[in-house]
Structure 1
Amino acid sequence: MAIQKFVDRDEELKTLERLYNRPGFTLVLVTGRRRIGKSRLVREFLKGKKAVSVQFEKRVWEYNLDKFNRAIAEYFGIPHPGFKSFTDAFRFIVSQTGERLVVFLDEFSYLLRYSEVEAEFQSIVDEVLRESNVMLILSASSVGLLKRSFFEYSSPLYGRSDATLNLQPLRFGHLFEWFEGVSPEDAVKLYAVTSGVPRYLEMFQGKDVDNEIRSNFFDPNSFLFREAKELLEEEFREPETYYTILEAVAREKTRVNEIAQSSYLEPSKVGRYLRVLEDLGILKRELPVGRKAKRGIYRFKDLYFAFWFAFVAPYFEEIESGFPDGAFYNFEEGFNRYLGFAFEEIARQSIIEMNRKGMLPFRLTELGRWWYRGEEIDLVGLNGREKKALLVEIKWKDLKRRELERILRDLERKASLMDLKGWEVQFGIIAKSAEPIEGGLVIDLDGLREAWGAGG
């Protein structure tokens, strides 16, 4: 396992420091999917600061209260205090210190399963801590529970937080920082199976990537083999339904009716499940950029889940029983095609990064996919004010001059199908590798690496 690095959390640390330097009680929520690095972020922030820190477990609330008691005893250097409620524990903390003190309750969502605890924390926030100098940081992996507790109007804790940090996976470019000396092609493969989730990146060394993928996903004793299944069972009351929906999307069923039919659900009911998966960042709903459309399509946003449902889920029982041959064959036959799908997300992130750095022909204000009546363009970037458009085709291929010219001509044809009369239209190609060519923006893997500021 690689040593975990702390990458790309500068803005979150700045926000926490700004709130820490503000006097008075402060309540901060840190959320994001499991393994995203919430605990690591807060631990980095707490370095050199006075803090009471405890990580709750999936146990009864009395057990977690006892853990909190032990953390208080350790910080204040006292015998186990034996507080019978969280309210009494916080009253003691406030009575013992007037200086800035951070209280970090990690995996707070395990307490939110108990309605009486949720109501108790309303009283703690409103009455016990309101006039204190405590900075209370609550971390939660169960995004659904956190939203119900802090962002639904009927909840006792609604509107109490001062800030919410919703951690996202690392972006593609940060893999060059994580894996020193990694090749751009291997970086694409690593991102395609981890989606930039720090805990998953720890499983790889970036040296022999194809074999590392095999050992991490097709060994029944490996962490990543079971992770997706366990996450669904942890997060949802109906994991089987969500599992079936994700299987459908993995089979390229992207429209609501298609997903419903493949999942044995009524179309009127499947929408609720899709919205939950969208909220959790596993799926994303797409609408064609540049034209009005009511019905979008659903695709994987989380590439770890995309890979897992494409290559592990269909062979889960066989792998578990020690017979992974079918999974290996499917991986060897289909991985390159899957990389074409993942490369679209990597290219999208790279275009956003280039736009941020002013590396494109003009500033984009809108970016997305476009499709209409069987025609599609992988990326369309628009600037409506200046009436400029950039149409980009993404190919996980080694492209020669003749094929590049053909793709550019086809993009010109597709542009005529769009409502771009009076617009300045430019064309681009992002490819695995490409020969130099005139008349279009052509970026290969080395160009993407340079765009992220990670020279070879």
Structure 2
Amino acid sequence: MIGRIEEQKELNRIYNRDQSDLVAVYGRRRVGKTYLVNETFRGKFTFRHTGLSPKKDVDPKTGKEEMTTMKDQLTHFHMSLQLHGAKKGTAPANWEEAFFMLEKLLMEKDNGSKQVVFFDELPWMDTKKSGFLQAFEGFYNGWCSARNNVMVIVCASASSWILNKLIRGRGGLFNRVTCQIKLSPFSLKECEEYLESQNIRFSRYDIAQSYMIFGGIPYYLGYVRGELSMAQNADKMFFNERPLLKGEYQNLFACSFEMPDRTKKVAEYLFSRNYGYTRREISEKFKDISGTDLTKILLALEESDFVIKYIPFGQGKRDIHYRLTDPYCRSYLSFIEGKGFRENFWQHNMDSSILNAWKGIAFENVCYLHFQQILKALNINGIEASQTIWNKGKDDNSEGAQIDLIISRADNVLNLCELKFYSGEFLVDAKYEEKMRTRNRLISERVSRKKVVRNTLITTYGLTRNGYSNIFTNIITLDDLFE
């Protein structure tokens, strides 16, 4: 298994203690949650079940998409019971009866050793007015908690459901989750390790580009073919006549969020401005979304690693901005949504202005998602530090200015970071140096005199040394981001 070392340690720690536990594993769709649980407990499951997808195929007669019913879910659950040793019989009529049948099966199989019960895609089983959650509460609170050898693991792509109904819910399962594991996408280094495990050799420059296109999602990496270049793989996934990821964008929201359509609209609005929007601006745009629902949507997007939130430099908590950073979503909205079929688009545009402009913004997001690696490269990973962005509009008194990333440190240093994705070394000329000095002056006017301002370059292959290059105090390269 690539990565997930700490997560496996935690799951095994829970498994080896003498008590019953409820474990919640959640994270973005396709991030590897089921794989983690399956690999950790292979051969140890007493019972495992996966909920049916909420949507069926389109009815050929009516042309309408049908929804999965409570009866469908119960029938499927009954089949899982039989696969694990339950006697044949009539399918349960409701969830209370279904969990009673599960309790009987677990008692029959109980030999004193740990019983691992795994429910994958648990929210899918919670169909409208089904009483599922109450029955599940009864199963865990009434039966599992009375024993010391049951480990119940629930898993879901719908992070908001797990958070709202289990972890933060005020119902019968309040404070019952004894372990929660949020699974995040791979880092650049883990992507490299995964590709090497598949005997696929790419340069770090190309791995970074692939990360900029679809992020550190193991499922997407599984489509990469070693005999193709990075550009050819991008076309195969996105732009060919039958792209491998066709329909993934819609499914991503449908399977991950309780309010998929509204969540998708909010995400697409965030995409429309690179540095994002405040909650007030989002609320004004979507007047039909209540304040409570908007809170849930923004929290779900953040917990699913779709957005980051930050306070712009020099502003307060009321000015918190939400920025869409999910690489796959940004790539889809940049190149697929509303664009029509464009075969081999990536191969035909590798050095075009379209892709070069996109790479600049996409690399910014890679850096935001590798903040800890940046701190380590600066030898300050033991110092309290936060990341922010500064964007100053042009006015009558001064030119506009933007700083891609500011690292505000507890040791009274501000690292003003320039983020540059180049195919070679970055070159500073007289005009660029003057721009940097002006920017430094504008920032220095806004901070305490005890703060030291340092220019930091984060780029692919480093800096060409010349008479102007000393404007940068620190140089961080792509290799540092792979640490």
Classify the TM-score, shorter chain.
0.7 to 0.9
Q: What is the match of residue 300 of structure 1?
A: 324
- Provide the rounded CA distance (Å) in 2 between the counterparts of 1:362 and 1:24: 37
Paired residue secondary structure (1:430)? strand
Q: What is the match of residue 425 of structure 1?
A: 453
Map 1:197-346; keep pairs closer than 5 Å: 197-205=217-225, 207-219=228-240, 221-235=242-256, 239-252=260-273, 254-256=276-278, 265=287, 271-272=294-295, 273-289=297-313, 291-315=315-339, 318-319=340-341, 332-346=352-366
Residue 444 in structure 1 maps to residue 459 in structure 2: no
Paired residue secondary structure (2:164)? helix
Residue 54 in structure 1 maps to residue 49 in structure 2: yes
- Provide the rounded CA distance (Å) in 2 between the counterparts of 1:20 and 1:415: 52
Q: What is the match of residue 403 of structure 2?
A: 377
Question: Residue 190 of structure 1: CA displacement?
Answer: 0.8
Question: Residue 74 of structure 1: CA displacement?
Answer: 3.9
Q: What is the match of residue 105 of structure 2?
A: 92
The structure 2 residue matched to 1:167, chosen from 183, 186, 197, is 183
In terms of mean alpha carbon deviation, does 41-50 or 227-236 score higher? 227-236
Identity percentage over the alignment? Answer: 23
Paired residue secondary structure (1:221)? coil
The answer to whether the Cα contact below 8 Å between 2:30 and 2:218 also exists between their aligned partners in 1 is yes
Q: What is the match of residue 365 of structure 1?
A: 384
Q: What is the match of residue 138 of structure 1?
A: 154
Structure 1 residue identity aligned to 2:235: R
- Taking structure 1 as the reference length, the TM-score comes to 0.84
Q: Which runs of 5+ in 1 are unaligned?
A: 1-5
Paired residue secondary structure (1:186)? helix
Q: What is the match of residue 427 of structure 2?
A: 400
- Kindly tell me the number of residue pairs found equivalent between the two proteins: 436
In terms of mean alpha carbon deviation, does 425-434 or 411-420 score higher? 411-420
The answer to whether the Cα contact below 8 Å between 1:364 and 1:381 also exists between their aligned partners in 2 is no
- Provide the rounded CA distance (Å) in 2 between the counterparts of 1:330 and 1:250: 22
Q: Which runs of 5+ in 2 are unaligned?
A: 54-67, 93-97, 394-400
The answer to whether the Cα contact below 8 Å between 1:216 and 1:222 also exists between their aligned partners in 2 is yes
The answer to whether the Cα contact below 8 Å between 1:148 and 1:155 also exists between their aligned partners in 2 is no
- Taking structure 2 as the reference length, the TM-score comes to 0.80
Q: Deviations over 1:347-382 (max 9, x none)?
A: 234441253x47526744122123253333222223
- Provide the rounded CA distance (Å) in 2 between the counterparts of 1:410 and 1:171: 35
The answer to whether the Cα contact below 8 Å between 1:381 and 1:391 also exists between their aligned partners in 2 is yes
Paired residue secondary structure (1:399)? coil
Structure 1 residue identity aligned to 2:137: Q
- Provide the rounded CA distance (Å) in 1 between the counterparts of 2:18 and 2:380: 46
Paired residue secondary structure (1:284)? strand
Q: What is the match of residue 127 of structure 1?
A: 142
The structure 2 residue matched to 1:113, chosen from 108, 127, 130, is 127
Structure 1 residue identity aligned to 2:403: I
Residue 80 in structure 1 maps to residue 80 in structure 2: no
Structure 2 residue identity aligned to 1:125: Y
Question: Residue 192 of structure 1: CA displacement?
Answer: 0.9
Structure 2 residue identity aligned to 1:402: D
The answer to whether the Cα contact below 8 Å between 2:51 and 2:120 also exists between their aligned partners in 1 is yes
Q: What is the match of residue 368 of structure 2?
A: 348
Structure 2 residue identity aligned to 1:156: G
Structure 1 residue identity aligned to 2:44: K
- Provide the rounded CA distance (Å) in 2 between the counterparts of 1:75 and 1:236: 31
The answer to whether the Cα contact below 8 Å between 1:289 and 1:368 also exists between their aligned partners in 2 is no
- Provide the rounded CA distance (Å) in 2 between the counterparts of 1:364 and 1:205: 41
The answer to whether the Cα contact below 8 Å between 1:377 and 1:391 also exists between their aligned partners in 2 is yes
Map 1:7-46; keep pairs closer than 5 Å: 7-46=2-41
Q: CA distance change for structure 1 residues 157 and 81 in 2, over 3 Å: closer, same or farther?
A: farther
Question: Residue 44 of structure 1: CA displacement?
Answer: 1.0
Question: Residue 50 of structure 1: CA displacement?
Answer: 4.5
Q: Deviations over 1:406-456 (max 9, x none)?
A: 56535533441331311233321012332245451112334444xx1xxxx
Q: 1 or 2, which has the higher helix percentage?
A: 1
- Provide the rounded CA distance (Å) in 1 between the counterparts of 2:134 and 2:369: 41
In terms of mean alpha carbon deviation, does 128-137 or 219-228 score higher? 219-228
Q: Deviations over 1:219-273 (max 9, x none)?
A: 3532423211222234457644444433333332733566567x66469769444
Paired residue secondary structure (2:10)? helix
- Provide the rounded CA distance (Å) in 1 between the counterparts of 2:78 and 2:134: 20
Q: CA distance change for structure 1 residues 378 and 445 in 2, over 3 Å: closer, same or farther?
A: same
Q: What is the match of residue 3 of structure 1?
A: none
Structure 2 residue identity aligned to 1:218: F
The answer to whether the Cα contact below 8 Å between 1:389 and 1:423 also exists between their aligned partners in 2 is yes
